[in-house]
């Protein structure tokens, strides 16, 4: 972490400052929490919630050169996210899984529950495009661009998943989907 971008609801614009020791302490604390949560979810799900699959080597003359992120030490797909981003993504993933379980417990039809979780999964996919160490900052609009919209992986800094600006979990498209889903009348359980 090199810098902190602050966005206040009571005023326009953003404030930029260097990261303080306290910022770094909080970041390290979240790294420890991530490892605890990751271990717990691995035990519960029997799969690592953070991908440890290797990224392509980025060799050759063709498109695989676009994946030359290994030159920067990003040897696994999990390395494409910092600790805070991983924590946000696995927490949202955990909640989506819990939502499915809750719908089944409350006697929602299985296909309906799968459809809702599929929409939430699409939202997770979109969120992951913003929560990556590869997102790029756009100083012209004081925002950032998604990382995985291209065939290549650009190298840039990170962003916060909990802000109220472009790229946070609170994406307009997700809310529209959820708005439509909540208008569907509940279905009585079939015996």
The domain limits of the chain are: 3-49+81-182, 50-79
Q: Which of 11-25, 85-99, 163-177: highest mean pLDDT?
A: 85-99
71: left (phi over 0), alpha (psi -120 to 50) or beta: alpha
Query: What sign does the CA torsion over 44, 49, 52, 57 have?
Result: positive
What is the per-residue pLDDT for 173?
A: 60
What is the per-residue pLDDT for 157?
A: 43
pLDDT above 70: residue 169: no
Helix, strand or coil for residue 22? helix
pLDDT above 70: residue 91: yes
Q: Which residues contact 33 (CB under 8 A, 6 or more apart)?
A: 87
- For residue 187, give the H/E element and its range: none
- Residue-wise pLDDT tens digits, 46-76: 999 999 999 887 776 665 566 677 888 889 9
- Residue-wise pLDDT tens digits, 6-52: 778 888 877 788 889 999 998 899 999 999 999 999 999 999 999 99
């Amino acid at each position: 972490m090199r810098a902190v971008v602050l966005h206040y609801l009571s005023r326009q614009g953003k404030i930029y400052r260097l990261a303080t020791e306290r910022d770094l302490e909080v970041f390290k604390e979240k790294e420890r929490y991530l490892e605890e949560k990751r271990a717990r979810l691995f035990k519960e799900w029997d799969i690592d919630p953070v991908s440890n699959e290797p990224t392509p080597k980025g060799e050759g003359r063709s498109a695989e050169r676009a994946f030359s992120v290994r030159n920067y030490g990003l040897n696994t797909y999990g390395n494409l996210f910092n600790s805070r981003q991983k924590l946000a993504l696995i927490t949202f993933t955990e909640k989506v899984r819990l939502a499915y379980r809750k719908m089944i417990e409350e006697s929602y039809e299985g296909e309906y529950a799968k459809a809702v979780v599929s929409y939430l999964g699409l939202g997770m996919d979109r969120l992951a495009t913003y929560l990556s160490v590869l997102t790029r900052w756009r100083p012209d609009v004081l925002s950032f661009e998604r990382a995985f919209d291209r065939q290549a992986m650009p190298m840039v800094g990170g962003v916060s998943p909990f802000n109220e600006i472009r790229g946070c979990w609170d994406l307009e498209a997700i809310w529209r989907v959820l708005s439509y889903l909540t208008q569907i009348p509940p279905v009585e359980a079939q015996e």
